Amino acid sequence: MRFTSLGTTGLSVSRLCLGCMSYGASAWRPWVLDEDAARPFFRRAIEAGINFFDTADMYSLGVSEEVTGRALRDYGRPDELVIATKVFFPLSDRPNMGGLSRKHIVQGCEASLRRLGVETIDLYQIHRFDPVVPIEETLAALDHLVHSGKVRYIGASSGFAWQFAQALSASERHGWARFVSMQNHYNLLYREEEREMIPLCAKTGVGLMPWSPLARGVLAGARRGVTDRESTVRAATDSYGHGLYDDQVNWDIVDAVRRVADGRGVPMAQIALAWLLSRPQVAAPIVGATKLPQLEDALGAVSLELSAEEVALLEAPYRPQPVRGIV
């Protein structure tokens, strides 16, 4: 495993982050692995040197945090691990159970701490920006958590560049803890982040940990066309993913990934991840796996270096597209 710093912080993270949305309770989503089935993924990840794990309070309505916390205590050394979780999406339809108010952020953090079984969350992230709550209220609450010792670093996930810039500016003006990471929608099929968000992060020293690096498996060859939703349980039931990729997939890009993979004699997933790992500012793509070979493919990408010609082949078919994944 290789390691890097998250942005300009001193936090050392593995070049892959294991996404824990897939682990928790199958009652929440049919493709989610229950605890017994999930534990081998944590064990293998730690054996391979992964020290970075990302979950969220809304994944399996809290069960993902519980499963993640127990597995990491059993298989890892807490001082070496970096545990990230997120707050924003509601866990129920009752008042104050979602959003980025001071009340919900503090309550959400305390609940996540209990579920994870830790005293401090290494990286606490807003899952989205809240259009209702002033950013100053959100940042003040996050700063309070940092100074109270409940959170070490704060990050954000998906938003417009102007929102992120506004947040960084507010933190600077008030002397508050600032976002050190951006968990954004970025892969070979979706590169609109290169216009504004990624240059902003490069200028301000913010590390990237992209989600959906394989475009819900499309870049791994899991689907054969726009209408192919039956290849996996997730492909058949992931309504959010359908909105991200279905009619917008540039299959010329998928074909380019396949050609490079065939030329190298490696799985398509390794090529798509190797491209992302080569991008400036990308610290650690968030990889999800529900089969152990998927995790092995991701691990293989860390040491795979693409040539300039291969990169050009992969990037050439891209065409501008509408912004997606912000909400």
Would residue 190 show up in a list of annotated catalytic residues for this protein? no
Q: Residue 317 has which token pair?
A: 């078919």
Which of 23, 59, 153, 245 is catalytic? The answer is: 59
CA distance 65 to 38: 12
Which residues, in sequence order, are bridge partners of residue 123?
84, 153
Separation of first and last alpha carbons in the chain: 33
The string of DSSP codes covering 104-119 is HHHHHHHHHHHHHT-S
**Residue type at 229?**
R
**Where are any strands of DSSP class E within the chain?**
3-5, 12-14, 17-19, 23-24, 33-34, 52-54, 82-87, 121-126, 151-157, 179-183, 207-208, 286-287
CA distance 238 to 207: 28
Indicate the burial class of 293 (C-beta count within 10 angstroms; 0-12, 13-18, 19 or more): exposed
CA distance 200 to 193: 10
Supply the angle between the helices 268-277 and 308-315 in degrees, to the nearest 10: 100
Maximum Cα–Cα distance across the chain: 55
Active centre residues (catalytic):
59
